[in-house]
Amino acid sequence: MEDRQFYQSISDVLPDDQQVQTVSPDTPVADAVEIMREENYSQLPVVDDERVMGIFSYRSFTEGILDLLEQNPSEDELTVGALMNQPPFRSVERDPEEVFEDLDRHDAVLVESRTNLTGILTAMDVLHHLHSVAQPFVLIAEIERHAREVIDSCVDEDELEECAVRALHESPYQDEEDVPVELTEMSMGDLVGIVRHGDNWNTHFGDAFSASGNDLQRGIVETRLDDIRELRNTVFHLKRSLDEDEIDTLRETRTWIRERRESVQANANVQTQEDEG
């Protein structure tokens, strides 16, 4: 599959490992339901002589069973052919947005044609794909937000400006007037630069971003945040999709920075209570 950050066709949404399982029209309903339960399917294409006749699903079963039972069918007559419905067929090159209404009405869309079935597109396929596309952005946004919150808890406005000028003037900002002095104006690179600066670390951030605040911990935190900065550039500039190891790095860093934020806030609450007491 072509590597894309945003899907543009149904082919990008279909699971790579999907194997389409079909049943014949004369398959007993009990057998079809058992297959669906064992394989965790929500529907099965009904194929006769290599031609798709329709689709059997939990929805088609519930919609048709009452009418069928009124006819008092025998066990042999209770087959998927009598309880299937007709979902739409869509080309693999179609935009997934064009099938949202189809998925709402039918639960599934058959891909290509009656004589060339190449896949089944379900609402869960779309959901999983959207999650995989959005997940890196969400994780990075959380990491940045928590990092800002930790920094904000450590310094006031004047101290933040001093830290920013100390760490960022000359590199990457040649003119002191260009140095961002508010957290909302700072990039991830700015945040990393401010935290890792020796004087800033020792005076304000060491204990907040690590357990001991020593130089070894400063190096570890610098590397961790710098890795996130690189991944952020990759994601936000749409260079490529992240692999599973990189997603795991984002998850682990999100957990770590969230724990640091909670620790700092808990210590602040304790200090407030002591001051008030």
> For the segment 252-264, what is each residue's pLDDT rounded down to a tens digit?
999 999 999 999 9
pLDDT at 276: 66
Determine contact, residues 221/130, Cβ cutoff 8 Å: no
List the domains of the chain with CATH numbers: 10-114 (3.10.580.10), 127-276 (no CATH)
- Residue 9's nearest CA partner among 109, 96, 119 is 96
What does the alpha-carbon distance between residue 21 and residue 179 come to, in Å, rounded to a whole number? Answer: 60
> For the segment 116-157, what is each residue's pLDDT rounded down to a tens digit?
999 999 999 999 988 998 999 999 999 999 999 999 999 999
User: Residue 46 pairs with which residues in a beta bridge?
Assistant: 23, 54
The mean predicted confidence, pLDDT, of the chain is 90
What does the alpha-carbon distance between residue 99 and residue 185 come to, in Å, rounded to a whole number? Answer: 40
- Residue 149's nearest CA partner among 160, 138, 158 is 160
Torsion angle of the four alpha carbons 135, 136, 141, 146, in this order, in degrees rounded to the nearest 10: 90
What does the alpha-carbon distance between residue 85 and residue 87 come to, in Å, rounded to a whole number? Answer: 6
pLDDT in tens, the chain (277 residues): 344 444 468 888 888 888 899 999 999 999 999 999 999 999 999 999 999 999 999 999 988 888 777 777 776 778 999 899 999 999 999 888 889 999 988 889 999 999 999 999 999 999 998 899 899 999 999 999 999 999 999 999 999 999 999 999 989 999 999 999 999 999 999 999 999 999 999 999 999 999 887 889 999 999 999 999 999 999 999 888 899 999 999 999 999 999 999 999 888 777 666 666 6
Residue 243, token pair as written in the block: 């692999």
Gyration radius (Cα) of the chain, Å = 28
What does the alpha-carbon distance between residue 195 and residue 184 come to, in Å, rounded to a whole number? Answer: 16
**Coil, strand, or helix at residue 26?**
coil
**Judging by beta carbons within 10 Å of its beta carbon (0-12, 13-18, 19+), is residue 1 exposed, middle or buried?**
exposed
- Residue 33's nearest CA partner among 83, 86, 108 is 83
**Judging by beta carbons within 10 Å of its beta carbon (0-12, 13-18, 19+), is residue 207 exposed, middle or buried?**
middle
